[in-house]
Amino acid sequence: MPREIQTQVLPEIAHSEVLLQEHCAKLLHESNANIQKIVVLKRSIDARQKTIKFNIKALVYFKGENFHEHKIELPAYNNVSNSREVIIVGAGPAGLFAALQLIELGLKPIVIERGKEVRGRRRDLKAINRDHLVHEDSNYCFGEGGAGTYSDGKLYTRSKKRGDVDRILQLLVGFGASPDILVEAHPHIGTNKLPQIIQDIREKIIACGGKVLFETRVIDFIVKSNEIQGVITQKGDIVSANKVILATGHSARDIFELLDKKKIVIEAKPFALGVRAEHPQELIDRIQYSCDFRGVYLPPAPYSIVKQVNGRGMYSFCMCPGGVIAPCATSPGEVVTNGWSPSKRDLSTANSGIVVELKLEDFKPYAKFGALAGMEFQKAIEQRAWQLAGSTQKVPAQRMVDFTHNTLSADIPKTSYVPGTTSVEMGQVFPGFLSQIMREGFKEFGKTMRGYLTNDAILHAPESRTSSPVRIPRDHETLEHIQIKGLYPCGEGAGYAGGIISAAIDGEKCALKIGEALS
Ligand code: FAD
């Protein structure tokens, strides 16, 4: 039997099989020559002490013990060409993992996606960055792989169900992600690696007889006697099925409007909104690692911070070490920020959404929009920011200390946000209560993370697509919409997930419920 050990080691030991083996031998009072293999099960950084260490959980195999390299295998996906069809609207993580799960269950997914396949999508991202042109069906939120394709690909989630999380991570490895994601405490994939994984998932779906329709936007649902019968696309095509997974993400405003117009129950949902802050990565490393230079063995440091200000949580969201701020608008006439990183996270800037939790009462000025009040609140801020920054994809920007002093920044240095920035007093972008909380909050952040509150940090606005402003309510047991039989609201847009992993888990859950209903 291999021996399981938990230990703390210096970074250089954590990164060397030879040194780690020597360390384990000493720890177990065994001869190094007797050890056959060390298999690291979990790895995390402990940066609380002056000397930074790695926590390692590992299995030590001794010579003569039965050791097999554990290769991750994909499930047996059978051919479902002639099986019963299930429609999935949206090819984000929720939609794609629902499709894979349906195939496992012997059902045929028809995935309908408004955006382009992952490579074609790239040209439209270039057009946003370079020409300030936003394609309403193909952008950082819409297209194959959904909002997560051109992201940092962080794979952590607050989901407590470890088994569900591990299954998604293993599937990702099966589709080409590095097995390191199974080991790291805070795994991520990176923008450069995600598209190939997404493409391989799509190819598997098609190889098994499923269908994936790109550049096909669902514009209506066919509902008879409160039962779904199919969907209508912008091309005028009818796609029929009496099971439809609706996984259109948090930015599909036309879907929320369609549901509202058709009197299919939806509810306003609180979300969070704020700015995206960019610091030099070196500064974040110094703060987080308490050292002048992080060296070669420590990764670019992430951070996570939360404070209560005036009774509301203000917190970091989707922090991207060594990353870039991305233009994530989905319509012309608005600006939206988010962030991505390459797999090595080796760029010189660190960015993070810094957002404040909103309450339903904040949406009162938009009460006439009913369940869409939060969405209209969000839209108004994005449109105001667009106007204030010059009616292009440039965003309003301000130095952090200037913001806390309510002073327009005299200049804004070049940041990673490619379309550019315009110096704006952020107070003009947000309702007064939000600016006030953020001003106070940044001062509080500066007390906890010494050096964080600096004019070298540039705020970009707004960070507004943190989660869905709408919930599409579903039955807890069947996961069907509470009013429309056969309609499965799914993933982040429906309000049941936040992030790649939880959206993927929710996709699988909906597919499993459909499997149960059809068995
Ligand atoms: P989405 O991914 O939003 O997918 C919905 C899909 O539905 C889209 O492809 C859209 O085109 C399609 N669609 C919408 N309307 C229609 C229609 N009418 N007809 C047909 N198709 C339609 N999360 C993380 O966990 N880690 C990260 O590092 C991370 N970084 C991010 C970086 C960026 C730049 C962005 C934008 C998001 C990031 N996220 C990250 C969030 C993550 O991407 C989402 O939480 C996740 O993608 C939600 O999955 P989903 O499948 O529910 O919805």
**8 Å CB contact between 374 and 363:** yes
CA distances, 277 to each of 9, 75, 94, 349, 441 (Å): 33, 41, 28, 10, 13
First to last CA, the chain: 42
pLDDT at 153: 84
Tokens representing 436 are 């006030």
Residue from 88, 118, 139, 141 whose mutation best tests the ligand 1 pocket (most atoms within 8 A of CB): 141
Q: How many residues does the chain have?
A: 519
Q: What span, in angstroms and rounded, lies between the C-alpha atoms of 117 and 199?
A: 8
pLDDT at 125: 96
Residue 356 Cβ contacting ligand 1 at under 6 Å = no
Task: Quote the Cα angle for 89-95-99, to 5°.
Answer: 105
Q: For ligand 1, atom 45, which residue shows the shortest CA distance?
A: 499
Interval 224-261: pLDDT, tens: 999 999 999 999 999 999 999 999 999 999 999 999 99
Mean pLDDT for the stretch of residues 3-24 = 96
- Number of neighbours of residue 211 by Cβ within 10 angstroms: 17
Mean pLDDT for the stretch of residues 14-33 = 96
CA-closest candidate to residue 174, choices 76, 68, 43, 58: 76
The atom number, within ligand 1, closest to the CA of 320 reads 28
Residue 317 Cβ contacting ligand 1 at under 6 Å = no
Half-sphere exposure of residue 30: CA atoms within 13 angstroms, side-chain side: 17
Q: What span, in angstroms and rounded, lies between the C-alpha atoms of 494 and 245?
A: 11
For strand 53-62 and strand 3-9, is the pairing parallel, antiparallel, or unpaired?
Answer: antiparallel
The proportion of the chain whose per-residue pLDDT surpasses 90, expressed as a percent, equals 93
Report the separation in Å between the CA atom of 106 and the middle of ligand 1, taken as the mean of its atom positions: 26
Q: Is 52 exposed, middle or buried (0-12, 13-18, 19+ CB in 10 A)?
A: buried
Check residues 191 and 418 and name the one with the higher pLDDT: 418
Residue environment code for 302-334, b if the CB has 16+ CB neighbours within 10 A, otherwise e: bbebebebeebebbbbbbbbbbbbbbbbbbeeb
Q: For ligand 1, atom 39, which residue shows the shortest CA distance?
A: 148
CA distances, 102 to each of 97, 219, 313 (Å): 9, 24, 39
Phi, psi of 287 (to 5 degrees): -70, -50
Residue 353 Cβ contacting ligand 1 at under 6 Å = no
Instruction: Report all structural domains of the chain as residue ranges with CATH numbers, in order of start.
Output: 3-62 (3.30.70), 85-266+470-518 (3.50.50.60), 272-463 (no CATH)
Mean pLDDT for the stretch of residues 461-488 = 98
Report the separation in Å between the CA atom of 124 and the middle of ligand 1, taken as the mean of its atom positions: 16
Tokens representing 269 are 């949902």
Residue 143 Cβ contacting ligand 1 at under 6 Å = yes
Residue 492 Cβ contacting ligand 1 at under 6 Å = yes
Report the separation in Å between the CA atom of 141 and the middle of ligand 1, taken as the mean of its atom positions: 5
pLDDT at 161: 77
3-state helix, strand, coil in the chain (%, to 5): 35, 25, 40
pLDDT greater than 80 at residue 159: no
Q: What span, in angstroms and rounded, lies between the C-alpha atoms of 215 and 233?
A: 10
pLDDT at 69: 83
Report the separation in Å between the CA atom of 404 and the middle of ligand 1, taken as the mean of its atom positions: 32
pLDDT at 167: 95
Q: What span, in angstroms and rounded, lies between the C-alpha atoms of 352 and 283?
A: 14
For strand 306-309 and strand 312-320, is the pairing parallel, antiparallel, or unpaired?
Answer: antiparallel
Grouping H, G, I as helix, E, B as strand and the rest as coil, residue 74 is coil
The atom number, within ligand 1, closest to the CA of 326 reads 34
CA distances, 67 to each of 4, 26, 35 (Å): 14, 21, 11
Report the separation in Å between the CA atom of 111 and the middle of ligand 1, taken as the mean of its atom positions: 15
Interval 53-80: pLDDT, tens: 999 999 999 999 998 888 899 999 999 9
Q: Binning pLDDT at 50, 70 and 90, where does residue 48 land?
A: confident
Interval 370-387: pLDDT, tens: 999 999 999 999 999 999
Interval 323-377: pLDDT, tens: 999 999 999 999 999 999 999 999 999 999 999 999 999 999 999 999 999 999 9
Mean pLDDT of the chain: 96
Tokens representing 179 are 């097995």
The atom number, within ligand 1, closest to the CA of 467 reads 45
**8 Å CB contact between 87 and 243:** yes
pLDDT at 50: 83
Residue 90 Cβ contacting ligand 1 at under 6 Å = yes
Q: How far does CA 285 lie from the centroid of its chain?
A: 23
CA-closest candidate to residue 156, choices 144, 168, 143, 146: 168
CA distances, 319 to each of 205, 349, 351, 359, 395 (Å): 32, 11, 6, 23, 19
Residue environment code for 369-387, b if the CB has 16+ CB neighbours within 10 A, otherwise e: bebbbbbbbbbebbbbbbe
Residue 503 Cβ contacting ligand 1 at under 6 Å = yes
Report the separation in Å between the CA atom of 449 and the middle of ligand 1, taken as the mean of its atom positions: 31
Residue 114 Cβ contacting ligand 1 at under 6 Å = yes
For strand 53-62 and strand 458-463, is the pairing parallel, antiparallel, or unpaired?
Answer: unpaired
* Number of helical (H) and strand (E) elements in the chain, helices listed first: 12, 22
Report the separation in Å between the CA atom of 246 and the middle of ligand 1, taken as the mean of its atom positions: 13
Q: Binning pLDDT at 50, 70 and 90, where does residue 291 land?
A: confident
Residue from 256, 318, 355 whose mutation best tests the ligand 1 pocket (most atoms within 8 A of CB): 318
**8 Å CB contact between 71 and 59:** no
ipTM comes to: 0.99
